[in-house]
Amino acid sequence: MADSTTRQLYTNLAATLQEIASLSQGLHVLGWDQQVLLPSSDGATAARGKALAALSGLVHEKSTAESFGALIDELEVQPDLDEELTVVERANLKLAAIDFRKNKNLPTSFVREYREHTSLSHAAWVKARKADDFPAFAPVLAKTLDFCKQYAQYVDADRPVYDVLVAEYERNLPSTRLAEIFSELREALVPMIHTINAAEHPDTEWMDAIHWDVKKQEELCKHIAQEIGFDFTRGRLDASVHPFTSGFNTYDVRITTRYSATHFAEGILGTVHEVGHAMYEQGLPHDLDGQPVGRALSLGVHESNSLFWENFVCRSRAFWRHFFPKIRELFPDIPEDKTADDLYAAINVARPGLIRVDSDEVHYPMHIVLRWELETLLLNGEVEVDDLPRIWNERMSSYVGIAPPSDKDGVLQDVHWPEGLVGYFPTYTLGQVAAAQWAHAMREQLGDLDELIEQGEFKQILHWLNENVHKKASVPESADALLEETVGEKLSPKYLIAHLKQKYSELYGVEL
Q: Can you tell me which of 3, 8, 51, 459 binds a copy of itself, judged by CB under 8 A?
A: 51
CB of 419 to a copy of itself, least distance (A): 24
Q: Binding-site residue total for a copy of itself (CB under 8 A)?
A: 41
Q: Which of residues 126-185 bind a copy of itself (CB under 8 A)?
A: none
CB of 155 to a copy of itself, least distance (A): 28
- 280 is a site residue for a copy of itself (CB under 8 A): no
Q: Which of residues 182-241 bind a copy of itself (CB under 8 A)?
A: 231-236
Contacts (Cβ under 8 Å, ≥6 apart) of 349: 201, 202, 204, 360
Q: Can you tell me which of 25, 64, 105, 118 binds a copy of itself, judged by CB under 8 A?
A: 25
Nearer to a copy of itself, 293 or 366 (CB): 293
CB of 249 to a copy of itself, least distance (A): 4
Report the C-alpha dihedral over residues 69, 73, 78, 82, rounded to 10 degrees. Answer: 80
| 189 vs 481: CA distance, rounded Å | 26
Nearer to a copy of itself, 249 or 271 (CB): 249
The one-character DSSP state at 254 is E
| Residue whose C-alpha is closest to residue 58's, from 100, 90, 15, 23 | 23
| Residue whose C-alpha is closest to residue 163's, from 431, 463, 464, 423 | 423
- 294 is a site residue for a copy of itself (CB under 8 A): no
Q: Which stretch in 35-43, 219-227, 332-340, 404-412 sits in contact with a copy of itself by CB under 8 A? A: 35-43
| 182 vs 238: CA distance, rounded Å | 36
| Residue whose C-alpha is closest to residue 474's, from 290, 292, 278, 253 | 292
Nearer to a copy of itself, 218 or 484 (CB): 218
- 286 is a site residue for a copy of itself (CB under 8 A): yes
| 32 vs 232: CA distance, rounded Å | 17
What does the per-residue mask of binding to a copy of itself show for 230-269, with x meaning CB under 8 A?
Answer: -xxxxxx-----------xxxxx-----------------
Contacts (Cβ under 8 Å, ≥6 apart) of 4: 80, 84
Q: What long-range pairs does 327-334 form, CB within 8 A, spacing at least 24?
A: 327/220, 330/213, 330/216, 330/219, 330/220, 331/210, 331/211, 331/212, 331/213, 331/216, 333/209, 333/210, 333/211, 334/210
Q: Can you tell me which of 2, 43, 83, 444 binds a copy of itself, judged by CB under 8 A?
A: 43
| 473 vs 483: CA distance, rounded Å | 13
Nearer to a copy of itself, 236 or 338 (CB): 236
- 58 is a site residue for a copy of itself (CB under 8 A): yes
- Asked if 83 is an active-site residue, the reply is no
Nearer to a copy of itself, 39 or 488 (CB): 39
Q: Can you tell me which of 3, 4, 33, 70 binds a copy of itself, judged by CB under 8 A?
A: 33
The one-character DSSP state at 360 is -
- The catalytic residue among 84, 89, 168, 274 is 274
- 53 is a site residue for a copy of itself (CB under 8 A): yes
- Nearest 5°: the CA angle 301, 163, 469 is 15
CB of 25 to a copy of itself, least distance (A): 4
Q: Please answer whether residues 17 and 68 qualify as being in contact, where contact means their C-beta atoms are separated by less than 8 angstroms.
A: no
| 503 vs 508: CA distance, rounded Å | 9
| 381 vs 464: CA distance, rounded Å | 44
- 123 is a site residue for a copy of itself (CB under 8 A): no
CB of 286 to a copy of itself, least distance (A): 6
- 40 is a site residue for a copy of itself (CB under 8 A): yes
Q: Please answer whether residues 463 and 306 qualify as being in contact, where contact means their C-beta atoms are separated by less than 8 angstroms.
A: no
| 313 vs 122: CA distance, rounded Å | 35
Q: Can you tell me which of 267, 276, 283, 290 binds a copy of itself, judged by CB under 8 A?
A: 290
Q: Can you tell me which of 5, 18, 119, 262 binds a copy of itself, judged by CB under 8 A?
A: 18
Q: Which stretch in 65-73, 99-107, 140-148, 286-294 sits in contact with a copy of itself by CB under 8 A? A: 286-294
CB of 51 to a copy of itself, least distance (A): 4
Contacts (Cβ under 8 Å, ≥6 apart) of 112: none
Q: Which stretch in 27-35, 170-178, 339-347, 494-502 sits in contact with a copy of itself by CB under 8 A? A: 27-35
- 19 is a site residue for a copy of itself (CB under 8 A): yes
- 50 is a site residue for a copy of itself (CB under 8 A): yes
Q: Report the chain's C-alpha Rg in angstroms.
A: 24
Catalytic residues: 274
Q: Site residues (CB under 8 A) for a copy of itself?
A: 18-19, 22-23, 25-27, 29-30, 33, 37-44, 46-48, 50-51, 53-55, 58, 231-236, 248-252, 286, 289-290
